[in-house]
A = this chain, B = another copy of it.
Amino acid sequence: MTDTTAGPADWSCPVPLRDHPVVVMGHGGGGALSAELTRHLFLPAYGGETLGELTDSATVTLGGARLAFSTDSYVVRPLFFPGGSIGDLAVNGTVNDLAMSGAVPAYLSCAFLLEEGTELSTVGRVAQALGAAARTAGVTVVTGDTKVVDSGHGDGVYVNTAGIGLIPEGVDIRPQRARPGDVVIVSGPIGQHGIAILSVREGLTFGTEVTSDTAPLAGLVQAMLAVTPEIHVLRDPTRGGLAAALHEIAETSKTGVVLDEGAVPVPDAVATACAFLGLDPMYVANEGRLVAFVPRTHTDAVLEAMRAHPQGREAAVIGRCVAEHPGMVVARTGLGATRIVDPPIGEQLPRIC
């Protein structure tokens, strides 16, 4: 898998990457390995400032308009799963990345990477699902690309989307803005997407069928912003789950997070599946949830607006931001004890999105 043709630029592995001279699945898991790759390989290569913020989408100004710009590739297996498909993820994932900066998502690009021999009806079903999800999310696919790779060098269908959206005046939502005193809210029960994928992939059932929570969150965010523009941080806890999202915020803002573990909504079937499989729901991927850091004074009103929205009906306060233990996430367990929530290294489940 090495390209033997001499390249135009030499590259030597910086120390933190030396333990892994080759790509491992965890480099795509959204955890510590992914962050290492970005920090030590991509950032030095690009020399970009905006990418350095490591948020889900970049904020750029063009022609006087303040825009959010984001991209994600989707490699989930299977292509169709309970509650959604790669087409839904490709829209909702990118729409949600944009929404997490407060932007109103507007336009998507969509690039298909197809494997030779894939049935066109499969491609058609993915495209239909993608189009339907775009209509639901209120965004338009305006440009695209199709590439085909030879059989054995792909996996049926991979999709990449990029999106742009407009950030309303007065809105400034980013991980750096978390402040001690902020209240931490989650928009709904966690762990559904990861468990749904795992169930169908492994042929497991856990009582009731767990369906993916994949959903567009831009409407919910706009409902929250209608209450107050003073929302400090928004983040969709996808790969690496709630634990990864909270860690990233704590680390970036140099604050601590205290989590009330009992207050985190976990569906029974997810809890059962996690117990059975030895997984922690805190690390399981979500595709239709957000976590918000909101100043205490606005908490009640924001929570009320969230619960009035279809995507936030089960919103709950799950913790608070503190000045102590900056960069750390600490969970209070049922009996008053505390435990440290470690950041994930890779992803418990590869190719989840």
Partner of A160, one of B2, B26, B71: B71
Given contacts A62-B107, A67-B62, A111-B160, contact A116 B25 (CB under 8 A): yes
Taking a contact as CB atoms under 8 Å apart, the answer to whether B1 and A115 are in contact is: yes
A15 contacts which chain B residues (CB < 8 A)? none
Taking a contact as CB atoms under 8 Å apart, the answer to whether A64 and B64 are in contact is: yes
Give A74 to B129 CA distance when docked, in angstroms: 24
Partner of A129, one of B8, B84, B114: B8
A120 contacts which chain B residues (CB < 8 A)? 13, 17, 20-23, 41
Give A153 to B155 CA distance when docked, in angstroms: 5
4 closest A-B pairs by beta carbon, nearest first, are: A63-B65, A28-B148, A162-B162, A11-B124
Is A158 located at the chain interface by the 8 A CB criterion?
yes
Interface size class of A (residues with CB under 8 A): 35 or more
Taking a contact as CB atoms under 8 Å apart, the answer to whether B69 and A143 are in contact is: yes
Q: Chain B: which residue is nearest A6 at the CB level?
A: B80
A247 to chain B, nearest CB (A): 18
Give A106 to B63 CA distance when docked, in angstroms: 11
A95 to chain B, nearest CB (A): 14
Taking a contact as CB atoms under 8 Å apart, the answer to whether A148 and B25 are in contact is: yes
Which of A43-51, A276-284, A286-294, A324-332 is near enough to bind chain B? A43-51
A130 contacts which chain B residues (CB < 8 A)? 45-46
Is A117 located at the chain interface by the 8 A CB criterion?
yes
Chain A 228-248 near chain B by CB (<8 Å), digits 1 or 0: 000000000000000000000
Q: Chain B: which residue is nearest A134 at the CB level?
A: B46
Is A272 located at the chain interface by the 8 A CB criterion?
no
A160 contacts which chain B residues (CB < 8 A)? 71, 73, 111, 113, 160, 162
Given contacts A23-B115, A114-B27, contact A51 B125 (CB under 8 A): no
Taking a contact as CB atoms under 8 Å apart, the answer to whether A155 and B166 are in contact is: no
The contact sample of 11 A-B pairs, CB cut-off 8 A, is: A5-B78, A8-B129, A28-B146, A45-B128, A45-B130, A46-B110, A47-B131, A49-B140, A62-B166, A73-B160, A162-B162
Taking a contact as CB atoms under 8 Å apart, the answer to whether A73 and B127 are in contact is: no
Is A225 located at the chain interface by the 8 A CB criterion?
no
Give A124 to B154 CA distance when docked, in angstroms: 22
Q: Chain B: which residue is nearest A82 at the CB level?
A: B5
Given contacts A42-B127, A58-B107, A147-B75, contact A69 B142 (CB under 8 A): yes
Taking a contact as CB atoms under 8 Å apart, the answer to whether B71 and A129 are in contact is: no
Is A141 located at the chain interface by the 8 A CB criterion?
yes
Taking a contact as CB atoms under 8 Å apart, the answer to whether A350 and B150 are in contact is: yes
Is A313 located at the chain interface by the 8 A CB criterion?
no
Chain A 81-92 near chain B by CB (<8 Å), digits 1 or 0: 100110000000
A27 contacts which chain B residues (CB < 8 A)? 114, 146, 148
Taking a contact as CB atoms under 8 Å apart, the answer to whether A106 and B62 are in contact is: yes
A144 contacts which chain B residues (CB < 8 A)? 38, 42, 46, 51, 71
Give A233 to B76 CA distance when docked, in angstroms: 39
